[in-house]
Amino acid sequence: MWNRLQGRLRPVGCGVEELRCRRREREAALRKARREQQLVSKRLVRDNAPEEAEVDLILGEAEIQQFLRLAQRGTEEKERERALVSLRRGLQHLETQQTFIRLEGSMRTLVGLLTSNQALLQLEAARCLHELSHSEQSAVAEACLPATSYLLTYLSGHSSDFIELCLYTLGNLIVESEAVRSQLLPQGIVPALAACIQSSHLTVLEALGYALSQLLQAKEAPEKIIPCASVGSSVLGSTLPQHMLRLLQPGPKLNPGVAVEFAWCLHYIICSQVNNALLITHGALSTLGLLLLDLAGAVQRSEDAGLELLVCPVFRCLSNLLTETAVEAVGGQMQLRDERVVAALFILLQFFLQKQPSLLPEGLWLLNNLTANSPSFCTSLLSLDLIEPLLQLLPVSNVVSVLVLTVLCNVAEKGPAYCEHLWPGPLLPSLLDMLAFSDTDVIGQSLELLQLLFLYRPEAAQAFLQQSGLQALERHEEEAQLQERVHALQRTALHG
């Protein structure tokens, strides 16, 4: 969620350093990492074999027992396989799933088939487990716990299809409860996933990204899963971060589906705030900055299919990393190239203005974090003549308006030389339009920007008065949250 700490501006006599100090305090609140609702979900992988077209029936106890008996003791392998196919189709129904887990010995039999030495039976048994793992009832999925150690073992196998299925099944099981994850962690799920990330099969990598993202979203992840507790047993103690960044590097080998999964994984690690300095040291800012440039290039080439799926986590990763105090200490700012990053960001903002306006706040949040403590990024905004395009975003929504105004405050706060580029120009008319809004956050941020502008460009106050600025302020004199700030600004405009 967006956290904004409302600040109060004192009357005339407010010093430059005092104003800057208050802005820094408010910015610290605004720039904290977002904690969005988690994207926990389950995924279902089904074979498109011809028998899938047949009618799936709800199975009773007798039918389940018959199929399990045939699968175990059938005289021909095809007969045993068909029995498991029929069972799998039945397990697509919740009623059959509930009956199956109530039957004594049913899961033991299925696990026995999973560990058989016949590949087709193994695959069908794994598909049955996958149907159970996808159940909407946690008790059904938790009944699969006896199979988890085998699923982890098979991640080191040779069949990419089988590994993919095991990964999606594990990913579904991970979200069920802490008890499930408590069993998987000592069984070595993190080292098993770290071994998979070196696979050359894209389907395996995408499934791995899904399973890992489920693990990283667990409420206990910051304490038990992510930290460098010991080499190999935790995410940051493994080779996973380096390989994730490798898979996010732009170029001909970049796969969009894989990149989306691992960009979200990186986002969850960053949001945990366990050791973001380590990620910055590994070159996370540089990799993500280059990926942002590549995504902007894709927009210009009209290669925009599903682009927002990757842009959103990239925006968030960069934004959160830029809030780290370690950024300066490890040379993080040097990993981003000012003008190219700002130009790329505006290309994407213009694209999403037309295609996906809901992503504009994500991009503006990144722009805010870029400009908050960086005069060079503010200079880039001015040298690339991006103030007017920024002002054009004001009417989109109240959330967008507040973020645009916050970015402009970042620029104005840098001093008189920066304010010379803001006035004369279209800024004052735009701010007068903003004062006609009823949203308190929009008005409050507009007042702050005017205060900064009048502080560094006193002649702008005269222009404000000539354009009926006082009348615009009078509309908000009776609003409790804004009253003191309105009066302070009125005095500043009248007395300089």
Count of C-beta atoms within a 10 Å radius of residue 246:
15
Copy the structure tokens of residue 326.
């370690």
As a residue count, the chain comes to 496
Copy the structure tokens of residue 461.
């106050």
CA angle 271, 248, 41 (to 5 degrees): 55
Q: How far apart are CA 295 and CA 344, in angstroms?
A: 8
In the block, residue with structure tokens 């700030």? 485
Q: How confident is the model at residue 142 (pLDDT cuts 50, 70, 90)?
A: confident
Q: How far apart are CA 393 and CA 412, in angstroms?
A: 18
For the ranges 27-31, 76-80, 166-170, 262-266, the lowest mean pLDDT is seen at 27-31
Q: Residues 285-300: pLDDT tens digits?
A: 999 999 999 999 988 8
pTM: 0.86
Instruction: State yes or no: pLDDT of 84 exceeds 70.
Output: yes
Q: Contact 423/460 with Cβ under 8 angstroms?
A: yes
88-104 burial string, b = 16+ CB within 10 Å, else e? bbbbbeeebbebbbeee
How many helices (H) and strands (E) in the chain?
29, 0
CA angle 174, 179, 182 (to 5 degrees): 75
Q: Residues 311-347: pLDDT tens digits?
A: 999 999 999 998 886 566 555 455 566 689 999 999 9
Task: Report percent pLDDT > 90 for the chain.
Answer: 58
CA angle 17, 22, 26 (to 5 degrees): 145
Peptide bond preceding 424 in cis form (omega within 30 of 0): yes
For the ranges 24-33, 378-387, 446-455, the lowest mean pLDDT is seen at 24-33
Copy the structure tokens of residue 123.
């695959």
Q: Residues 447-480: pLDDT tens digits?
A: 899 889 888 888 888 777 777 667 777 776 666 5
Q: Residues 205-248: pLDDT tens digits?
A: 999 999 999 999 999 999 999 997 655 679 999 999 999 999 99
Count of C-beta atoms within a 10 Å radius of residue 149:
14
Q: How far apart are CA 29 and CA 370, in angstroms?
A: 15
